[in-house]
Amino acid sequence: MRIGELAAQTGLSVQAIRFYERRGLLKPARLSSGYRDYATDEAKRIRFIKKSQQLGYTLTEIRELLQLSASRAHNAVDVGKAVEARVRDIDNKIRDLKRMRNELISIANKCGCGPTEPVCRVLRDLDYEVEPNRIR
């Protein structure tokens, strides 16, 4: 199948498909004319890539998952470890986002700035150096 057909099937642009190819995620055959020839299962592979990205995997991690998928032999433990690592990363990000959210709420609650304030209290709390005469 040609790249345009694959793009139409998957909803990706031709450029996105070429990007995945450059990153080693897709490996089309080359016809004697130089055109790429994608196997029919490449659409399934692209769906796997897109779903993995939605779950937060990097392209490098996705390439590793695809390699594990291709090996099939005894890959369950390795895939399980990759999933557990992703869950830990997400938990850490959630913890960090909650901390940032709480800090921003605290700063916003302290604001109460009005037109007579030369420097916003929020900026002071962020230790942002502002020269009062430069505020308009």
Residue ranges of domains in the chain, CATH in brackets: 1-54 (1.10.1660.10)
pLDDT tens by residue, 22-66: 999 999 999 999 889 999 899 999 999 999 999 989 999 999 888
Q: Is the dihedral of CA 125, 127, 132, 136 positive or negative?
A: negative
pLDDT tens by residue, 82-104: 889 999 999 999 999 999 999 88
Whether 4 and 14 have beta carbons less than 8 Å apart is answered as: yes
How does the average pLDDT of the chain come out, rounded?
Answer: 85
- Beta-strand pair 29-30/36-37: antiparallel
Please classify residue 133 by burial: count the beta carbons closer than 10 Å to its beta carbon, then call 0-12 exposed, 13-18 middle and 19+ buried. exposed
